[in-house]
Amino acid sequence: MQYLKERKLVLDMAQKIYREKMVPGTWGNVSLRVKDQPLLLITPSGMPYETMTIEDIVLLDLDGEVTEGERVPSIEKNLHARIYKERNDVDAIVHVHTLYASAFAVAGKSIPVILEETAQLIGHDVQVAAYAPCGTDQLAQLTAQTLGEGNAVLLANHGLVGVGTDLNRALMVCQVAEKTAQVCLLAQSLGQVNELCPEDISLLRKQFAVYGQNQGK
């Protein structure tokens, strides 16, 4: 079996989003691009996260076809493959069904940039891809189109997708988007939501690029 280290990364992240209650049951999915190869590793369809093993992680090509593995891959395999084909800068994808982000997805409302960490890590409103049934080519196309060059996208009546250069980054995108959605709804209950302006968002993004141990690099 190939790519054991990478399979373990996918498995660990899948079990993490389950432990953190970012997905109910067997919903949600995680994938990782195989470095320097037109391949990706993805979680299987409909298997309990707590009993999943590295042998259950499926290897696909960028057309969504299985190249190694005994399991049926996630129903959203085409969505993941489409993003990787269109975004050379994306190496990891995490798809979750968190409560507050899902509320925005159901309402058809973008999650606005209201927190500094939203500006720093995501850098844009998290827009909603128009509805299409799960697992369809139409959903894959609409998701990639709405995501564009961004880091997060909502799927109408469905959930949230975060992307990044690695799985931890993609997860953090999802965590920040979910927190932002929650804070936005709480602020609305207080009567006012103050969004950050484009100039401040740009400044915060630039500062974050050299934040912490990245200074001077």
Please check whether the domain covering 4-214 is classified as CATH 3.40.225.10. Answer: yes
pLDDT given for residue 203 in this prediction = 95
Is residue 78 scored above 80 in pLDDT?
yes
* Ramachandran angles phi, psi of 59, nearest 5°: -95, 125
Instruction: Find the catalytic residue in 76, 117, 149, 199.
Output: 76
How many Cβ atoms sit within 10 Å of the Cβ of residue 28? 24
Percentage, residues of the chain above pLDDT 90: 94
pLDDT score recorded for residue 214: 59
- Report the pLDDT value the prediction gives residue 209, as an integer from 0 to 100: 84
Chain segment 160-185, per-residue pLDDT in tens: 999 999 999 999 999 999 999 999 99
Catalytic: 76? yes
Q: What is the pTM of this model?
A: 0.95
